[in-house]
Amino acid sequence: MRELRRRRNLSLRDLALLMDRHGSGSYNLLGRLERGEVKGPSFGLVADFLRACGAGFEDLGDLLKAYTAQEPVLKKKGDTAVAALLKSLPGPEQRAMLRWEKASARAREEQAAAEPRKKKPRVETPRQRVFRVVWAFIHANWSEILEQKLYEALLKLGPLVPGSRRRQACALGRRMFGVMTRRYASEKRRERALALAERRAEEDGFPAEVVDALLGAAAAAQAELSGSGRLDWEPTPEQIVKARARAPKVEKAETRLEMEAIGPGVAYNRALGLVRSMVLSVVNAGLEKRRLDFKTRRSYMYWIDRLVPIGAEHGTGSPQWRAEIEATIPKMHDPELALFVAGQIAEAFNRWRVRIPAKPARPGSA
């Protein structure tokens, strides 16, 4: 805008006179307008400025395009409020947290746009966006107790809740907990919400014993949180900054049960991999002395990969071990060397076999 005025060789005072604006404050206002210091200038002011300069709105195309490309005013205020909450964080963590928060807000808008039949959420205010960051800490504080209660309930229920339905059962327990901790205008509305949750659980095929156990777990979690004062706890800005804006992660009850179920298998596979690496290092050292090419050495490595699991499950003296050796030796480039390497593999494996635990039974096997 200053460039447009200078093209006509006009001073601010001359421009003010052409715009029929009199008084010393008029040209000061125009100077502030050129510097972008006037917030929300009126349409008439900008139009009169352009008329006095002999220009049109098309001459402000780049300026208007840059301005309209910005995010809405409410979103910018929200960005400022979240940044103020996290201002004490180190630079990289602060930028990462701001990117996450903006991405979360954008994802909510896209989800609402993709579901036009549902009631769309209102645009989030700066206070709501700040609370979303704080809520992550509140949710983690509550979940620590709730997930423990759900875990204990699922252990007691045992086969009544099979593994394929644990996630659904835990979601039901969390829904009941949400009803208990939510603020209602009256207790009757809370009771109706709980009754609706129980009815839906029964419609989904959960026995009454399961529904009662989940309801009891949610009630126990709510009582413990309320009794300890943690139900009304909110993190301070100092606590958020100290945690680098990362709420502690709480393992879900169904995930914990799944990990416990596969734990023995993980330990078995880890030990098997360790023994395989030790056998491989011993055999590979001997093969390198013979200066064999890479392709030949690789064939022996694949052979070790097949023999180690057989040895762990059946032993090096088993028919399965002998059958694998007898089937493979004729295919190797040097049968005598292959027979020698087979002995090395068995010797190295037996040396480290004590590190391998018993193979766990498959889920569902007798």
CA nearest neighbour of 156 among 207, 224, 214: 214
List the one residue out of 298, 318, 302 whose CA is nearest residue 310. Answer: 318
DSSP 355: G
The SS3 of residue 122 is: coil
- Length of the chain, in residues: 366
Residue 120 scores a pLDDT above 60 = no
pLDDT per position as a tens digit, 129-145: 666 667 677 767 788 88
Q: Where are the alpha helices (DSSP H) in the chain?
A: 2-7, 12-18, 24-34, 43-52, 61-68, 73-85, 91-114, 126-157, 166-181, 187-203, 208-228, 237-242, 253-289, 294-314, 319-328, 335-352
Q: Which long-range contacts (CB under 8 A, 24 or more apart) does 221-228 make?
A: 221/142, 221/145, 221/146, 221/148, 221/149, 221/150, 221/177, 222/177, 222/180, 222/181, 224/145, 224/149, 225/142, 225/145, 225/181
Segment 14-35 mean pLDDT:
78
With a cut of 70, say whether residue 183 has pLDDT above it: yes
Residue, of 22 and 29, whose pLDDT is higher: 29
Distance CA 14, CA 220 (A): 78
Tens digits of residue pLDDT in 307-340: 888 988 888 889 999 999 999 988 888 888 888 8
The predicted pLDDT at position 71 comes to 65
- What is the per-residue pLDDT for 115? 62
Is the predicted pLDDT of residue 215 greater than 60, yes or no? yes
The yes-or-no verdict on residue 104 having pLDDT over 60 is yes
Residue 222 has pLDDT above 80, yes or no: yes
Burial class of 128 by CB neighbour count within 10 A (0 to 12, 13 to 18, 19+): middle
pLDDT the model gives residue 245: 57
At 85 the pLDDT is 65
List Cβ neighbours of 149 (8 Å cut-off, separation of 6 or more). 217, 218, 220, 221, 224
Residue 285 CA: distances (Å) to CA of 93, 332, 344: 47, 19, 11
Which pair of structure tokens corresponds to residue 333? 């480039």
Give the pLDDT of residue 364: 44
pTM of the model: 0.47
Q: Are 100 and 123 in contact (CB under 8 A)?
A: no
How is residue 239 written in tokens?
Answer: 């606590």
Contact 316, 342 (CB under 8 A): no
220: pLDDT confidence band, cut at 50, 70 and 90?
A: very high
Q: Which residue, chain included where needed, has tokens 């840059």?
A: 66
Residue 256 has pLDDT above 50, yes or no: yes
Rounded mean pLDDT of 114-133?
A: 59
Q: What is the pLDDT of residue 365?
A: 43
CA dihedral sign of residues 261, 267, 272, 274? positive
For tokens 């040895």, the residue is: 311
Residue 174, burial from CB neighbour count under 10 angstroms (0-12, 13-18, 19+): buried
Mean pLDDT over all residues of the chain? 79
Residue 40 in tokens: 């929300």
Give the C-alpha separation, 315 to 309, whole Å.
9
State how far the Cα of 191 lies from the Cα of 333, in Å rounded to an integer.
78
By C-alpha distance, which of 216, 44, 221, 241 is closest to 147? 221
pLDDT, residue 67, reads 66
Taking residues 214-222, report their average pLDDT: 91
Please, which residues have CB within 8 angstroms of residue 241's CB and are 6 or more apart in sequence?
A: 86, 88, 89
Under the banding of pLDDT at 50, 70 and 90, the label for residue 361 is low
Query: Picking from 193-197, 202-206, 258-262, 351-355, which range would have the lowest pLDDT averaged per residue?
Result: 258-262
Residue 172 clears pLDDT 50, i.e. is over it: yes
Alpha carbon distance 60, 66 (integer Å): 10
273 with 357: CB under 8 angstroms? no
Residue 279 CA to residue 305 CA, distance in Å, equals 10
pLDDT at residue 362, rounded to an integer = 56
